[in-house]
Amino acid sequence: MRLSVQEAAFDAGAELNAFSASVAGAGAVVSFTGLVRDSDGSLQAMEIEHYPGMTQAAIADIAAQAQTRWSLTDVLVIHRYGRLEPGALIMMVATASRHRIAAFEAAAFLMDYLKSRAPFWKKEIGRDGATWVAAKDEDEAALERW
């Protein structure tokens, strides 16, 4: 299990290949990649703040919950912080399992929890100033699925 909180960019394709190569017994690998979206071309950058002392432990706790609930061969979580350009990768998760439905559910679970329970805060820097991204009610509601 690799859980990384890092400022540096990463190569999602290389991570996916390394992850898949290491899970010989698994038939199913699901990945999620989150990118800095620039809907209308006005975004200059996204700044991600986090709580260094807590982040790694919070992610490890979420990953451990996923491994308790589903039979997973392996789990990968990478989450960046700092200043990111539009189009850049923010984070990725990957899950491996014998069965596709477990891999899908576990990856969706990880994303729902990382979104609302890992101590990251996003700020969008636009031409007209900066705005903290507001948490959505639907993201909190998504946790009730599990």
Partner 1 sequence: MEVLYFAWLRERIGLPRERVETTAPTVMALIEELKAREDRYALAFSDLKSLRVALDQKLSSLDAPLAGVREVAFFPPMTGG
Q: Using CB under 8 A, which of the segments 31-39, 48-56, 63-71, 77-85 binds its own copies?
A: 31-39
For 10, phi then psi, to 5°, come to -140, 165
- Judged on CB neighbours under 10 Å (0-12, 13-18, 19+), 134 is exposed
Q: Binders of its own copies among 122-141, rule CB under 8 A? A: none
Residue 49 binds which of its own copies, partner 1, none (CB < 5-8 A, kind-dependent): partner 1
What tokens were used for 134?
A: 């507001």
Footprint of its own copies on 65-104 (CB under 8 A): 86-87, 89, 98, 100-101, 103-104
Considering only 3, 4, 10, 20, the residue that binds its own copies (CB under 8 A) is: 20
Restricted to residues 84-123, the positions that interact with partner 1 (CB under 8 A) are 90-91, 100, 111, 114-123
Nearest Cα to Cα of residue 34 among 14, 12, 49: 12
Asked whether 55 and 118 are in contact (CB, 8 A), the reply is yes
Which residues between 33 and 72 bind its own copies (CB under 8 A)? 33-39
Say if residues 81 and 122 touch (Cβ distance below 8 Å): no
Residues belonging to the chain: 146
By CB under 8 A, name the binding residues for its own copies. 11-17, 20-21, 23-39, 86-87, 89, 98, 100-101, 103-104, 107-108, 111, 115, 142
